[in-house]
C-alpha cells in the first residue's frame, strides 16, 4: 500500500486537498486502515496534520514546518518587489482581521459573516488603528502594534498612484485568493470564504484555545 500512500501524499502536496467528487479513488484510499497508518507516519516525520471532513481531506502544516508553511518573505513579495517587513506584518494583521470578521464568534461552529465588502474591512481596520479599543503592543506575538498603526494611518485612503488603505486590503484579499481561501465577487468589491477556509476553520483552527486567543487579541484594550 506504500505506493498508494505516496500517490495520495503527492496529490495532497500539489493541490493542498482532495475531494470525494474530484478525487474519488484517492479519497477512498485514504479510508483504508493501512493507508491511514502510513499517512500518520508521513505526518509525524513532515510536521503536518490531515484534516478530514465529509467530502474533503486537507493537509495543514504545523507551526514549525519549513517545507509547507507560507513564509513572511512570500507575503512581502505579494505586496511588491520593494516591500519591507513592516508591509508584510501589516498584511498579516489585515488577514487576521478578515478571518476574525468571518469567524470571530464565541460559537465555534458558526460563521459570523457569509461575505464582506472591501470597504467594510477598511472601516474595521480604521476602527482598530484609531487608538480606541486597540493594543499598544502585541508583545507575545512579537508585533509592534504602534508601528503597524503608523504604517496604516500614514497611507492615503484613495490617492491614485500611491498605496491606499483600500489597496492594502485588496492585496491581502488577493493573497488569500491565491491560497484558495476566499473568492472575489461583484467586480472585486466583495469577498466570500471558500469551502476550504470554512472547513479548516471549523474543523481545526477554531478550537477552544484559538477562539480564546482570537478574543484576547481583539478585545484587549490599551491600559
Q: What is the helix (H) or strand (E) element at residue 42, kind and residue range?
A: helix 33-46
Q: Point out the least confidently predicted range of 30-34, 70-74, 95-99.
A: 70-74
Q: How confident is the model at residue 112, as a pLDDT?
A: 74
* Mean pLDDT along residues 145-164: 73
Interior angle at CA 6, CA 53 and CA 179, nearest 5: 50
Label residue 213 by pLDDT band (50, 70, 90). Answer: low
Number of neighbouring beta carbons within 10 Å of residue 38: 18
* Helices then strands, each counted (H, E), the chain: 10, 6
pLDDT, position 105: 58
pLDDT at 88: 92
**pLDDT score of 133:** 44
Question: What's the predicted TM-score (pTM) here?
Answer: 0.79
DSSP state of 153: H
Q: What is the pLDDT of residue 39?
A: 92
* Collapsed DSSP state (helix, strand, coil) of residue 38: helix
- Helix (H) or strand (E) holding 103, with range, is helix 85-103
Please report the pLDDT score of residue 193 as a whole number: 96
Q: Does residue 18 sit in helix, strand or coil?
A: strand
For the record, the C-alpha cell of 169 comes out as 486590503
- What pLDDT sits at residue 20? 95
Which range has the worst mean pLDDT, 25-34, 62-71, 79-88, 190-199?
62-71
181 in Cβ contact with 194 (< 8 Å): yes
- Reduced to 3 states (helix: H, G, I; strand: E, B; else coil), residue 193 is strand
Cβ neighbours for 70, distance < 8 A, ≥ 6 positions apart: 179
Residues belonging to the chain:
223
Task: Read off the C-alpha cell for 102.
Answer: 468571518
Region 77-85 average pLDDT? 90
pLDDT above 60 (res 142) = no
Q: 222 versus 191: which is more confidently predicted?
A: 191
The predicted pLDDT at position 208 comes to 64
pLDDT value of position 194: 95
Name residue, grid cell 488603505: 165
Amino acid at each position: 500500500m506504500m505506493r498508494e500512500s505516496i500517490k495520495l501524499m503527492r496529490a495532497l502536496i500539489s493541490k493542498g486537498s482532495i475531494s470525494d467528487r474530484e478525487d474519488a479513488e484517492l479519497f477512498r484510499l485514504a479510508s483504508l486502515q493501512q493507508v491511514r497508518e502510513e499517512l500518520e507516519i508521513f505526518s509525524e516525520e513532515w510536521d503536518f496534520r490531515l484534516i478530514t471532513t465529509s467530502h474533503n481531506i486537507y493537509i495543514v502544516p504545523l507551526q514549525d514546518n519549513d517545507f509547507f508553511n507560507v513564509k513572511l518573505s512570500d507575503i512581502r513579495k505579494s505586496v511588491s518587489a520593494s516591500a519591507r517587513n513592516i508591509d508584510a506584518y501589516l498584511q498579516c494583521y489585515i488577514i487576521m482581521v478578515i478571518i476574525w470578521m468571518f469567524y470571530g464568534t464565541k460559537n465555534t461552529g458558526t460563521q459570523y459573516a457569509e461575505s464582506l465588502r472591501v470597504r467594510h474591512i477598511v472601516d474595521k481596520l480604521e476602527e482598530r488603528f484609531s487608538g480606541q479599543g486597540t493594543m499598544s503592543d502585541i508583545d507575545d506575538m512579537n508585533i509592534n502594534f504602534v508601528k503597524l498603526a503608523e504604517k496604516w494611518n500614514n497611507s492615503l485612503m484613495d490617492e491614485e498612484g500611491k498605496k491606499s488603505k483600500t489597496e492594502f486590503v485588496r492585496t491581502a484579499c488577493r493573497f488569500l485568493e491565491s491560497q484558495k481561501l476566499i473568492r472575489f465577487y461583484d467586480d472585486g468589491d466583495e469577498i466570500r470564504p471558500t469551502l476550504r477556509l470554512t472547513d479548516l476553520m471549523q474543523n481545526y483552527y477554531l478550537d477552544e484555545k484559538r477562539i480564546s486567543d482570537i478574543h484576547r487579541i481583539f478585545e484587549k484594550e490599551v491600559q
